[in-house]
Amino acid sequence: MGKSLYEKVFEKHAVRKLDSGQYQLLMGLHLIHEVTSPQAFAMLRDRGLTVPYPERTFATCDHIVPTHNQLRPYQDTLAEQMLVELENNCERYGIRYLSPKKGEQGIVHVVGPELGLTQPGQTVCCGDSHTSTHGAFGAIAFGIGTTQVRDVLATQTLAMDKLKVRRIEVNGTLRPGVYAKDVVLYVIHKLGVQGGVGYAYEFAGTVFDGFSMEERMTVCNMSIEGGARCGYVNPDETTYAYLKGREYAPKDAKWDEAVTYWDSIRSDADARYDDVVVYDAHDIEPMVTWGITPAQSSPVGAALPQPSEFSSGEQPLIREAYQYMGFAPGDPVRGQKIDVAFIGSCTNGRFSDFEEVVKHLRASGKKVAKGVRALVVPGSQQIRERLIEAGYDRVFSDAGFEFREAGCSMCLAMNPDKLVGRELCASSSNRNFKGRQGSPTGRTLLMSPVMVAAAAVSGSVADAREVFAIQN
């Protein structure tokens, strides 16, 4: 019986089996940022350790970066301190820092792929949950804690459990107005936020095969929200076309060698899986979360579920969600008045996300509704430059959106972009936990970028297919 990509990559990187039953796993690529690395470097220093493989670690800043402007020093002195610490650590240990001054800065899960650092068959880690994004390239990529960041800096290895593998197939053709974000929200809705615990998710079938790399990144990004430690798509011609010519992608003869290796780590046709689920693309509608976990979602026009539709174990969380959000079972989420619209994040802050929104804004001529604060925040400086070159910044500004500098922004509000009070935000990010966007009572509705734009111009949650006349 054949092997899955997960098994092949895991075996190639396993240094040895530990007495604990875990494996010592070599990490091909380590990405760091300002939030989880300072303590890890301090622990290294306390133990008199160095970084023996600095060429395998790359640093950027994202969470704390203000998006109005990036002028230094930052007004927030704590944020400024964190950035200075990162810069100093990179200099001290010889780590490449993707500097805002050189136009290389951006969200860690956006800049890694953008530079061609993320490649098929790699092991990738970062002190951030959404490292699963990099699985879009056929890498095994996962978030790690601060002490593990220390371990990787000191040894380039990690102690890891071997995961089970669930193959998630979505076959058929998506309806117009249904995007990668809707697909992954649908999968999480079906399997639950705990459904992936102990698993790696392999995304397969005609829908994922037909997706662009940016769409695959959206899907893999949210694997962690379904409980999976990592998620991946097998590498193919789409992957190779994306990578070719990027700064860190292999060149010349090394490119051909790399492609041969990348082809070899694809899941075998007769690979063994611990579980397989299959969905029909035609069943997927534009999805919106209505609760406080990414699984608490529904098609935009559907009536919200009754608590009695859930198991007795799930009902307390459902009631808590209704109480926090102020919604009632039976009501549709469509029509809920919004205060803020946010398009950005490592889930949906890439060029094609904005391009799709621009297409609909241009065609409809619609403007942001009165009273709605609408933010467009590119995932990286490079993306921001491309958007400006294409003239898309003006499309957004003319439509009433604030076109900002690159960063995490409102995804988690470790910077000045925050919700106020009980504001309701239509967001293209990945987490709708209580207080996630900076206000302890703020409320987040996750949806695709085009759905966020539809909400922004309508002033309330709306079906983008109706707002932008997308033919169904």
Q: Contact residues for ligand SF4 (CB under 6 A)?
A: 62-63, 107-109, 128, 130, 345-346, 408, 411-412, 429-430
* Tokens of residue 122, six digits: 């790699």
Nearest distance from C-beta of residue 236 to ligand SF4, angstroms = 25
Strands 23-26 and 157-160: antiparallel
Nearest distance from C-beta of residue 111 to ligand SF4, angstroms = 11
What is the SS3 assignment for 175-197? CCCCCHHHHHHHHHHHHCCCCCC
Let me know the angle formed at the C-alpha of 384 by 452 and 182, rounded to the nearest 5 degrees: 30
- Dihedral sign for Cα atoms in the order 407, 413, 418, 424: positive
Q: CB of 459 within 8 A of CB of 368?
A: no
Element of type H or E holding 381? helix 381-389
Nearest distance from C-beta of residue 409 to ligand SF4, angstroms = 8
Q: Closest CB to ligand SF4 among 67 and 157?
A: 67
Element of type H or E holding 57? strand 57-59
Nearest distance from C-beta of residue 428 to ligand SF4, angstroms = 10
Nearest distance from C-beta of residue 408 to ligand SF4, angstroms = 3
Nearest distance from C-beta of residue 33 to ligand SF4, angstroms = 8
Nearest distance from C-beta of residue 447 to ligand SF4, angstroms = 15
Q: Closest CB to ligand SF4 among 8 and 134?
A: 134
Pick from 298, 355, 297, 307: nearest CA to 328: 307
Q: What 3-state class would DSSP assign to 151?
A: helix
d(CA 408, CA 420): 18
Q: CB of 172 within 8 A of CB of 465?
A: no
In the DSSP assignment, the letter for residue 305 is P
Q: DSSP secondary structure string, 12-33? A: HHEEEE-TTS-EEEE-SEEEE-
User: Helix 351-364 and helix 381-389: axis angle, to 10°?
Assistant: 30
d(CA 344, CA 185): 17
In the DSSP assignment, the letter for residue 163 is P
d(CA 211, CA 219): 10
Nearest distance from C-beta of residue 29 to ligand SF4, angstroms = 16
d(CA 127, CA 130): 9
Q: CB of 416 within 8 A of CB of 66?
A: yes
Q: Closest CB to ligand SF4 among 114 and 285?
A: 114
d(CA 276, CA 218): 21
Nearest distance from C-beta of residue 109 to ligand SF4, angstroms = 6
Q: Closest CB to ligand SF4 among 141 and 170?
A: 141
Q: Closest CB to ligand SF4 among 301 and 416?
A: 416
Q: Closest CB to ligand SF4 among 109 and 189?
A: 109
Q: CB of 449 within 8 A of CB of 347?
A: no
Q: Closest CB to ligand SF4 among 340 and 462?
A: 340
Nearest distance from C-beta of residue 347 to ligand SF4, angstroms = 7
Q: Closest CB to ligand SF4 among 345 and 458?
A: 345
